[in-house]
Amino acid sequence: DMWDNLGRIVGEFPHVTSMSANELKNFVKIDEETKKNLDEIIELNKGGIIFSAHFGNWEIGPKFLLNYGLKVNTIYRPLNNTLVEDLTAKQRGVPMIEKGSAGNRQLINALKNKEFIMRIVIAMIKSKVPVADSIINELADDDKMRYKLYQRLLRIKRLDLFPAKHKTQEAI
């Protein structure tokens, strides 16, 4: 099943990456609640982290969100094969932030510039990829993100990373 899905994504990659964000909207359907949430995010005029999962083709989400009006960056792990990495990185059509300490600095700058990050920060933690304390603090400082962050860290048994200043029942 995993190989079947990966094969489809590889087959779709040249088509998806050649489409404009506007063309992609013909293939993406979102419900009214999601539209309402996206409109609210845009209205707040802040940056943030959008948590997503790898269902279907993960190249579509960031381009769709760009078309919707969000400044989106994607955090990713570069491919092991540098030739394939160079080929695919140039075709994606969205800003990419490489995992790691240099990427953490880019991530913080993107948030400061009111941009959005597409990545599961929790997946980075689960994979033992270092995540800067400042990123976790930024999420915990946001009243709307704090509870989600707490719940996700609780689920993976990593509450030790949740900032102490927000660990009270009232703060959560």
User: What's the chain's average pLDDT?
Assistant: 79
Question: Tens digit of pLDDT for each residue in 157-171?
Answer: 999 999 999 987 666
Q: What is the DSSP letter of 9?
A: H
Which pTM does this prediction carry?
0.56
The more confidently predicted of residues 30 and 123 is 30
Name residue, tokens 């990713």: 76
Question: Tens digit of pLDDT for each residue in 41-62?
Answer: 888 888 887 777 666 677 778 8
Check residue 123 and give its pLDDT: 66
Show the beta-strand stretches assigned E in 7-88: 48-50, 72-76
